[in-house]
Amino acid sequence: MLSDVFHRLRALLRRSTVEREMAEELQFHIDRQVEAYRRLGLDDAHARRRTRLTFGGLDQISEDVRDARGTRWLDDLLRDVGYAFRTFRRLPGFTAMALLLLALGIGATTVMFTVINSVLLRPLAYPQPDRLVTLHGFTEGFGESWGASYPDFLDIQRESRTLTMAAWREGGGTISAPGDPENVDGRQISAELFAVLGLRVSQGRPFLRDDDRPGASPVAIVSDSLSRHRFGGGAAAIGQRLVFEGISYTVVGVAPAGFGLDSELEVFTPLGENTEPRMRNREARFLHTVARLSPGAGLSEAQAELAIIARRLAAQFRRRTAGAGCARARCSTTLWEISDRRSGSCLPLWPWCCSLPA
């Protein structure tokens, strides 16, 4: 083993010496074979010709010997690198352009593979990801709307039997205690989010319905990393005080390690405790929604059920909804789409029609 490594290193570091020794050894065997044919009575010309036929091509023999060393790939690499540098000196502009095109091509290929792998090939890190869906709004003349309003979310959540729904919105801010102030990323989430995703908190408990309403005692769920560097990790964080955006929260849970909806998140607070005016505005579509199909329910059943819910909401909130996307005396259509998060396919779920006076 050690001798093999030694010979390989010698072939790399003393290449000219090794090549000369190989040539001398080949010549030695050729001379011995020529001498053997001479003793058999052949003249010198015929003996050398017979020797060449016996040995075959000397170049091929040399290549076989180099392959046996196991270092030919490095010899070829060094030769190619030398050729590249000579070309660069001779044609620097052409070489720079070729390198730039190669870099752009490799970068574009890497980006495309990353996107395709994360969106299409790699499954979501949740149980039964094929049962997860998202809702997107669409208004004729205005196009697709990624968000939902909080009143719409509550109505669908309350009345749907084929979907268990959850919602979230951006909610980052500054932690001022315990420890030094720090700006962190976070989300305001509905109480059902962890259950819809099929996840459990690693410590403590998720939010309860009583936490997810105006006037409830402020509670928070923190990330695994934040629980470690702010509270010492694990169960030590449960029951501790966290001052976030000037509000004192009680930590009730620790999210699973690495959990993030669309980025690395540190703090989760209940969505329903938010008292901003737009939380009551049916036209303020700022919530992300995710839902899990109920056992035995499919997309077609969800579509049929939400169409019924939509007709009731259209009749109840026709005047308020009319401003969402209707042109003067024309009938416009607003609908919600449900998206299969695994395949990206969409089905229209929430159609309604409205008209404005001329």
d(CA 66, CA 86): 25
Closest CA to 55 of 44, 67, 64: 64
Q: Average pLDDT of 192-220? A: 93
Q: What is the share, in percent, of the chain residues with pLDDT greater than 70? A: 73
Q: Give pLDDT, residue 72.
A: 67
Q: What is residue 8's predicted lDDT score, i.e. its pLDDT?
A: 58
φ, ψ for residue 26 (rounded to 5)? -60, -45
Q: How confident is the model at residue 246 (pLDDT cuts 50, 70, 90)?
A: very high
**177: which 2 tokens?**
């205690």
List, for residues 109-156, the tens digit of each pLDDT value.
Answer: 998 888 776 666 666 677 888 888 887 665 555 555 667 889 989 998
Residue boundaries of the structural domains of the chain: 2-88, 91-121, 129-347
Residue 89 is encoded by which pair of tokens?
Answer: 């000196």
**Rg (Cα) of the chain, in Å, rounded?**
36
Region 181-209: mean pLDDT is 93
Which of residues 70 and 221 earns the better pLDDT score? 221
- In the structure, what pLDDT confidence band is assigned to residue 244 with cuts at 50, 70 and 90? very high
Two tokens, residue 20: 């000369």
Tell me the torsion sign for CA atoms 225, 230, 234, 237: negative
pLDDT at 299 over 50: yes
pTM of this prediction?
A: 0.59
Beta bridge partners of 291: 133, 165
